[in-house]
Amino acid sequence: MASTAIDVLVEGGKATAAPPLGPALGPLGVNIGQVVADINKKTASFKGMQVPVKVTVDSDTKDYSITIGTPPASALVKKEAGVDKGSGKPQEDFVADLKIEQIIKIAKMKEDSLSGKTLKEKVKEVIGTCRSIGVKVEEVTASEAIDMVNQGKFDKEIKQEKTEITAEEQKELDEEKKKMQAELEAKRAQLEKTAQGILKENEGKPEQARKAMEAEGIPEDIINKLAPKQAATTEAKPVKK
């Protein structure tokens, strides 16, 4: 059974029969309009994003399958949350909050690559990703959100495949994110102040300073900034006479 695969890049929900998709599908004998419609259905959640799509056509039966490529779930969570990076301590420090509708949206975007058999299971997988980068869901930790999913708290939204939030909800999330970011900046400033104090107490002893900072729970990036590893591991060698 021979098959032909076509890889194209389309804008989410806006594929057309124009080049490069139409001309590539034409010689394969498939219903181009139907293929385009199916691609747009599968990529509707990627509005405004360029999406890699693979169309595989059976040369004999003209049956086809569509595979949607997506960024990692963590990248989609960060994009939806409007943050550039996750938390350095995801179980303690939080960078943003998402609504369950946004989680469902990501689960649908990643439906071809998530292992869950149902949308509910896929939703829990995405929430698990939130846990790894310090993003809350419905104002609670990811672990608590997964418990809520198991208890059926979001069955209605999942069944209806709700993926949109209101402008007012988005405004609330933005304000909450600003508050979280301000708290993180204040906490980081205090940690840097503590680290500088430790460094001063251990002046000329970078390795000892690093160990003291680690004991105080200072983040590694701050430790490396104030007491680089190279300085910590360099020892003066006795001069031979």
Write out pLDDT tens, residues 24-65. 999 999 999 999 999 999 888 777 677 889 999 999 999 999
77 and 64 part of one domain = no
Decide which of 50, 68, 86 is a domain's last residue: 68
C-beta separation of 144 from 138 below 8 A: no
Domain count, the chain: 3
DSSP SS3 for 182:
helix
Per the domain annotation, does 173 fall within a domain?
no
9 and 26 part of one domain = yes
104 and 143 part of one domain = yes
Q: For residue 201, what are its two tokens?
A: 């107490």
Decide which of 41, 68, 95 is a domain's last residue: 68
At residue 231, does pLDDT exceed 60? no
Per the domain annotation, does 172 fall within a domain?
no
Q: With pLDDT > 90 as the criterion, what percentage of the chain qualifies?
A: 66
Contacts 24+ apart (CB under 8 A), 18-24: none
Per the domain annotation, does 122 fall within a domain?
yes
- Domain holding 159, by residue range, is 73-165
Per the domain annotation, does 171 fall within a domain?
no
Per the domain annotation, does 238 fall within a domain?
no
CATH of the domain at 54: 3.30.1550.10
**pTM tops 0.75:** no
